[in-house]
Amino acid sequence: MNLYFRDKFFSTGITEILNDKEETIGHVDLKRAFSASIDVYGQNGDLLYKGKFPFFSGKWEVADADGDLLGVLRSRLSFFTKKFTYETQGRGEYEITSPAFSKEYAIADESGMLVAQFEQINNWFSSGAFHLNNKSELLDTYELVAVIMGMHAIQKSQQAAASS
């Protein structure tokens, strides 16, 4: 399933999740500007997933609508690639990688099999827009929206720390 979604420049408010036909099939509620958290809603307006940084943590937690933890995303130290790990509860560990200056990312399972890919498709008016193509049977596409938004929040936090 292909989805398009984006962050907002000031990182608060609601943004749409679109399909290939540019039809709205959900939305992301960017909750706070200074301590990132999001809610991901499906096509019927039902809350599906939540993402947040726990208090004083660099890890991004993804939970279901009831608040049950589904997985934790963390950045991994790497010199020539951007690397993240998404550890799920009972569904394995996934590695998210991208070459150093690329905006294209691959998500692979523990066996190294590609299960999803996404790219950052920024433009002048958008601080972080993404195109996601999910082929996984274990990771829901809307869950991956929460994971990717968390990865983007981690990157923004790292960039802010590096520039200060």
157 three-class SS = helix
Per-residue confidence (pLDDT) for residue 113, from 0 to 100? 98
Whole-number Å distance between alpha carbons of 17 and 3:
7
Closest by Cα among 105, 114, 112 to 147: 105
CATH 3.20.20.70 assigned to 2-162: no
Per-residue confidence (pLDDT) for residue 124, from 0 to 100? 46
- Name residues of the chain where pLDDT drops below 50: 124-125
Whole-number Å distance between alpha carbons of 52 and 70:
12
Per-residue confidence (pLDDT) for residue 13, from 0 to 100? 84
List, for residues 87-127, the tens digit of each pLDDT value.
Answer: 999 999 999 999 988 999 999 999 999 999 999 887 544 56
Asked if 153 and 159 touch (Cβ cutoff 8 Å), the reply is no
Through-space distance between the first and last CA atoms of the chain, rounded to whole angstroms: 39
**What ranges do the domains of the chain cover?**
2-162
According to DSSP, residue 140 is labeled -
Residue whose structure tokens are 């829901």:
140
Q: Is the pTM value of this prediction over 0.75? A: yes
